[in-house]
């Protein structure tokens, strides 16, 4: 007879259970047959492959897969400025197996531009703000504009044409900010994506643009685009010599893009906790942080209710800008 007959041998832990322990989560989250995740998880990226949100999603998915023992698959569903993929998530089961990955404008800008909207912010549970980035204000050197004050002076004397990556994009909103807060005569020229919008500035098809920094910098360094300012709160680590709009006395022109992850609203707390912990650990990994830096993305930490409040405040700010300037989907 064993020396301790009343003590059953401890069960061996599965790979997934060991992953829960590594995440520091309580056993109740993973115990039993309904452990999460028990199958692959889809990360619906609302924009095309190869962009910052796609690279960020794949970086996080790789770590989550290692940590949680299930496949995390990035599924690109671009269209309607992010509305298409986001609507798919809104109508998915609230079980943690379908997440939305995108940028804040889907929730902070689109509701004021698209009627009717197929979903509401209330249909989602905010999971995490993963990162943020500013934009770069750049012009074609042939304009003769060599500073942000010179841009403001030129824009008040004559009409300027500025490109963006499309209707409702951050660049489109930036043009609205220049109109609303700086009184410029500026026309918005939408292109199908950031790259052709940058090319238009370089080629002189437009006077300038307020566009993603990584796409502009190679042409800034080559002397084919002149950088005037960045719209972020801090200088870009990719371009530390370029001042912020606030440094130049125009904090009202600040504009940052938030890269976010969302869940369907009814997702259980235990599942959201698993994912929040997983995202936190993924975004702390040195290789992920290095990748963010190459994309001019700054790590962010707002999650849950704090994230929801931040989105609501941005939505109100952008509502006023859109109402004042008459921005429309073109």
**How far, in Å, CA of 83 to CA of 47, rounded?**
10
pLDDT at site 183:
84
Average pLDDT, rounded, for the chain? 89
Please indicate, yes or no, if residue 289 is contained in any of the structural domains.
Answer: yes
Distance of CA 234 to the CA centre of its chain: 17
Check whether the bond before 9 is cis (ω within 30° of 0): no
Average pLDDT of span 178-193: 89
Report the run of H or E that residue 62 belongs to, with start and end. helix 52-68
Residue carrying the six token digits 């998530």:
89
- How many domains does the chain contain in total? 2
pLDDT at site 130:
97
| Per-residue confidence band for 256, with pLDDT thresholds at 50, 70 and 90 | very high
Phi, psi of 86, deg, nearest 5: -65, -40
Whether residue 263 sits in one domain with residue 251: no
pLDDT at site 29:
47
Residue 207 lies in domain: 135-255
Average pLDDT of span 290-294: 92
Distance of CA 303 to the CA centre of its chain: 14
CB distance 58 to 65 below 8 Å: no
How large is the angle between the packed helices 194-203 and 213-221, nearest 10 degrees? Answer: 30
pLDDT at site 34:
60
Average pLDDT of span 263-277: 97
DSSP conformation class of 225: S
| Per-residue confidence band for 28, with pLDDT thresholds at 50, 70 and 90 | very low
Final residue of a domain: which of 255, 271, 289?
A: 255
pLDDT tens, position by position, 203-233: 999 999 999 998 899 999 999 999 999 999 9
CB distance 185 to 160 below 8 Å: yes
pTM, entire model: 0.85
Beta strands in the chain (DSSP E): 41-45, 72-76, 98-103, 124-133, 135-139, 160-164, 186-190, 208-212, 226-230, 257-264, 298-299
Final residue of a domain: which of 230, 255, 280?
A: 255
| Per-residue confidence band for 23, with pLDDT thresholds at 50, 70 and 90 | low
- Better pLDDT: 19 or 165: 165
Whether residue 48 sits in one domain with residue 85: yes
pLDDT cut 90: percent of the chain above it:
76
Whether residue 245 sits in one domain with residue 185: yes
Residue carrying the six token digits 């942000």:
148
């Amino acid at each position: 007879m064993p020396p301790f007959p009343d003590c059953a041998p401890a069960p061996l832990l599965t790979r997934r259970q060991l992953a829960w322990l590594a995440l520091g989560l309580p056993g109740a989250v993973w115990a039993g047959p309904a452990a999460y995740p028990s199958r692959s998880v889809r990360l619906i990226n609302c924009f095309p492959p190869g962009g910052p949100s796609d690279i960020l999603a794949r970086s996080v998915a790789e770590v989550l897969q290692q940590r949680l023992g299930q496949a995390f698959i990035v599924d690109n569903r671009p269209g309607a400025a992010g509305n298409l993929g986001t609507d798919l998530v809104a109508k998915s089961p609230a079980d943690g197996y379908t997440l939305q990955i995108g940028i804040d404008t889907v929730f902070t800008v689109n509701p004021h531009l698209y009627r009717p909207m197929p979903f509401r912010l209330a249909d989602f549970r905010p999971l995490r703000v993963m990162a943020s980035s500013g934009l770069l204000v750049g012009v074609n050197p042939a304009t003769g504009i060599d500073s942000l004050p010179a841009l403001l002076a030129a824009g008040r004397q004559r009409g300027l044409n500025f490109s963006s990556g499309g209707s409702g994009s951050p660049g489109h909103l930036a043009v609205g900010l220049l109109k609303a807060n700086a009184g410029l005569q500026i026309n918005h020229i939408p292109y199908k994506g950031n790259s052709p919008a940058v090319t238009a500035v370089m080629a002189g098809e437009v006077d300038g643009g307020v566009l993603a920094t990584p796409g502009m910098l190679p042409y800034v360094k080559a002397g084919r685009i002149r950088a005037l300012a960045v719209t972020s709160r801090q200088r870009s680590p990719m371009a530390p010599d370029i001042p912020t709009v606030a440094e130049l006395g125009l904090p009202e022109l600040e504009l940052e893009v938030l890269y976010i992850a969302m869940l369907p609203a009814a997702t259980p707390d235990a599942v959201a906790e698993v994912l929040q912990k997983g995202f936190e650990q993924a975004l702390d990994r040195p290789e992920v942080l290095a990748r963010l830096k190459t994309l001019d993305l700054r790590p962010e930490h707002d999650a849950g209710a704090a994230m929801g409040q931040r989105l609501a405040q941005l939505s109100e700010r952008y509502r006023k800008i859109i109402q004042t300037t008459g921005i429309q989907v073109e």
